[in-house]
Chains A and B, each alone.
Chain A
Amino acid sequence: MNEMTLIAATQAGLAEEMRRDTRVWCLGEDLARGGVFGQYAGFLEEFGPKRVVSTPISEAMIMSAGLGAALAGTRPVVEMRIADFTLCAMDELVNQVAKVRYMFGGQARAPMVIRMPHGLARFSAAQHSQSLEAWLVHIPGLVVLAPATAADCKGLMKAAIRSDDPVILFEPRSIWASTGEVPGGDDVTPIGVARIARRGDDVTLVSWSMTVPLALAAAESAAREGISVEVVDLRSLWPWDKEAVLASVARTRRAVIAHEAVKIAGFGAEIAATIGEELAGTLVAPVVRVGAPRIPVPYAPLLEDAYRVTSEKILAGLRQVARGRSAAHDDRSSATT
């Protein structure tokens, strides 16, 4: 085990894969200067300019050069700088990358990783702060990952690079500087498997990416109020670990889903609907979703707070579903005796 920052873990994962497989290369703006967040520091020196390609500000071209190069036998890691700029490459991503395998009848694969640091970052306002994961989960052909820990930032980077699918890697940039344990060796995190971040019995709290630490803080506060919360860190959004979520909710019979993205038509809606479809009769409280209001991200700190999902807002959600707790406990105990 090694303690490292999330960003360093990310960097280690990419560097290890580039050493392992010479077909892996990366392209994006300012990579020769170490990347906009320093996450490529030292890469140019180690891997050279053919494998660490500093590009013009041409997001559509960054995406489609990655695709063309993937189709021609390499495994590119495509850097979008931040998720918001992916919107300049949306045709390339959605109409081309995601569909080549299918529309060409399986002749082609697009083994590429598309890196998208996402979410709020110190008053960056409407065009530099978005969480758009629900858009991309909606697109057949894409794998969508959203790690929250150092171990998973590294492990999912490695899994993404080894995958033959195009993989979107949403990176939690607001918590990149925090630290966590990273196992040594070839520590690949499996795609599609959730992590139980905290065990609990009364409420299942599902979250991902930068919202996971907030979920854990909310769970801690809830514990002091006598509410035992199980925190599920989803890690993969597509495929998502339905079994893990449903198994937890089947036990707790209450669910809260928390994400930084706008709540309306956010990915929490898919999870809530699935819980409804599979466990409707067993729930003792309606599922609660905690997400941002449907507004562009505002600039002024107080206004940004109105957008921001906080541990307090998540705690309020936990309290809401836990309200009928004693009654629920009663009928659960009567069911077992």
Chain B
Amino acid sequence: MSVAQTNTRVALGLELLRSMIRIRSFEEAARSVHAKGEIPGVLHLSIGQEAMPAGVCANLRLTDTIASTHRGHGHCIAKGAGPAAMMAELFGRLDGTCRGKGGSMHIADFAVGMLGANGVVGGGIGIAVGAAQAARLLGDGRVSACFFGDGAVNRGPFLEGLNWARIYDLPVLFVCEDNGFAAFTRPTETTGGPGAPARARSIGIPTFEVDGNDAMAVHDAAAEALEQCRRGKGPAFLYALTYRIDGHTIADRTPYRSAEEVQLRRADDPIERLRATLAEQGVEAAALMRIAVEAEHEMQAAIAFARASPIPGVHEALSDVQDAGAPS
């Protein structure tokens, strides 16, 4: 690698590191205020899985679209949503991205092309595919990416969505985040045959398999896959193994797995891995430290913003239902 190339890789590494650290900080901040009873609903945290949203979304433009899952905070942040409005949404406040009507499971920010988390497993697949179809129809060059977990590959929309994207050659990247669990169950117990990548290949979709805790590898695979989408070659599929460090929800104490297993997996932290690589490449410790400190400040400010944001008035319950036949 030339010096220039090395510098670009280091700059990219820093960008991905910042993205992952911001996601981690957001999740930890959300957990801390949830513990204080300030967040009314349930949270699905993505700690340990940050390399996926960071690596994929670094290849997306603001106008490109993504569809996400119940575990969607990371996708939201990586796509460019502001943590303050996101935190306010978790609090159920008026300044939330969804004016307090969606909460964690329906967090969305259309201004940055984030078409919504989804409370239904597999529910985002068709939406991302449809957004790609709109891009094709409008000829605006947008691509879309669709995040889903290993649990979604056994639902009908997985087959229907992949087949659909293939027959119309739509510019959509399917991103399967296999975090080792679907709720309390391991995918090996519920998924027949050789699994998601083989299913994608059987439909004729170019499929990339990558270490989901290696942000640079995720980035590079997504770059290649999305390049194909942008060149009109149709859909691509990215499959990555990662690990869900926390419980399924914030209340899940994970009695179905051992503490040793979690300890072992913690040692393979995607953030620490990239930090170490960057340090080896000569990035100063202070610079790395600064990213973490800035993220911490940003999330504290987000919490303060959420706390100060007004609680929606009861009349808000009746707004934004529909135009014709709206409730009165």
Contact = CB atoms under 8 A, between A and B. Distances in A.
A94 to B, nearest CB: 10
A142 B324 CA distance: 9
Contact of B120 (A95, A106, A166, A238): A95
Contacts of B119: 95
Contacts of A68: 67, 115, 126-134, 144
A72 B130 contact: yes
B130 A67 contact: yes
A119 interface: no
A60 B156 CA distance: 8
A164 B126 contact: no
Interface stretch (A38-46, A48-56, A208-216): A48-56
Contact of B102 (A91, A105, A239): A105
Contacts of B129: 61, 64-65, 68
A223 interface: no
A102 B136 CA distance: 27
Given A58-B164, A68-B67, A191-B324, A106 B99 contact: yes
Nearest to A95: B120
A56 B322 CA distance: 30
A53 B134 CA distance: 12
Contacts of A101: 320-322
Interface in B76-92: none
A60 B157 contact: yes
Contacts of A73: 134, 138
B167 A64 contact: no
B130 A66 contact: yes
B69 interface: no
A105 B123 contact: no
B310 interface: no
A31 to B, nearest CB: 13
Contacts of B323: 163-165
Contact of A71 (B96, B100, B102, B131): B131
Q: Please provide the 7 A-B residue pairs with the shortest distance between their CB atoms, ordered closest to farther.
A: A68-B130, A64-B126, A239-B325, A105-B98, A105-B99, A72-B134, A65-B130
20 contacts: A51-B137, A53-B133, A56-B167, A65-B164, A68-B67, A68-B133, A71-B134, A72-B134, A72-B142, A73-B134, A74-B138, A91-B123, A92-B126, A101-B321, A107-B98, A107-B109, A108-B115, A140-B322, A166-B322, A238-B325
Given A61-B161, A71-B127, 12 more contacts: A53-B168, A58-B163, A66-B130, A67-B127, A72-B65, A76-B130, A91-B123, A103-B106, A104-B97, A105-B102, A107-B111, A165-B322
Interface of B: 65, 67, 96-102, 106, 108-111, 115-116, 118-120, 123, 125-138, 142, 144, 156-157, 160-161, 163-164, 167-168, 319-325, 327
